[in-house]
Amino acid sequence: MKFKTHTESEAHRKKRTRLFMALFISVIMVMSILAIYVEQMSGNSLGEVYKGLKVTQTTLGYNVKNQKGVELLFDNHPGYAESINASFSRFYSALITFNPNEDKNLLPYYERAKLNLQMNFEKLQILTGSAISEPVDNSSPYHIYPVADCSYENMTVIYLTTSNTTSVTQENNCIIISGNNGQDLLLAKDALLYRYLTE
């Protein structure tokens, strides 16, 4: 009969301790990876609070909710939108327009801004319509839109355009949302929404 010696038992114990440590570290690593994955899949559901607004990043942009419970979808974080000059009077109906002949590369940004404004204005109970500011020929996908510009007198017109400055300005009944490029145009659009949520 063979008996285990003290050294064999101690070696076995050390081996078992190493095995448990390796298993413990592996479990911690797997749990950490799962936690990161769940957080990303949930769209950072905890969100953050920015100047009284609850901000949650999603795959579509930023859901921004004010203290009254109104939640709008921004393309940019409200901290960036806040820094844009936005001066306009409140309105309760608007015609959103742009010039489809201005820059063909910006058409996706004009469309995104227009659709985002329409969706968010519905939540704010602002009636909207769509138009273009310049006539187009029948080969354009925009030929079905009515032609409207800032000369309308009976309705607020929101005019999306490019310029040297990124801003939201008002001239009579015309609110001009302008940016240096497509991303800046979306940022200026968010500035208008930010003012509606905070004022």
**Statement to judge: residues 22 and 70 lie in one domain:** no
**Measured between alpha carbons, how far is residue 153 from residues 46, 58, 76, 119, 172 in Å?**
45, 39, 32, 24, 9
Do residues 33 and 68 both lie within one domain?
no
Residue 96 main-chain phi, psi, to 5 deg = -95, 125
Domain co-membership, 29 together with 59: no
Cα–Cα distance list, 61 to 76, 149, 156 (Å): 6, 29, 27
Q: What is the pLDDT of residues 5-25, one digit of tens each?
A: 555 677 778 888 888 777 878
The percentage of the chain sitting over the pLDDT mark of 70, rounded to a whole number, equals 90
The total domain count for the chain is 2
> At residue 83, does pLDDT exceed 80?
yes
- 117-136 pLDDT, tens per residue? 999 999 999 988 888 888 88
Average pLDDT over residues 76-98: 92
Q: Which pLDDT value is given to residue 25?
A: 81
| 117 and 25 within one domain | no
- Model-level pTM? 0.74
CA distance 52 to 126: 23
Whether 68 and 141 map to the same domain: the answer is: yes
Mean pLDDT over 186-195 rounds to: 96
- Residues 34, 54: one domain? no
32 lies in the same domain as 72: no
> Confidence band (pLDDT; 50, 70, 90) for 53?
very high
Higher-confidence position of 118 and 149: 118
CA 105 to mean position of chain CA atoms: 21
Tell the residue number behind the tokens 């949930």, with chain if given.
42
Range of the domain at 25: 1-41
Other Cβ atoms closer than 10 A to 182: 18
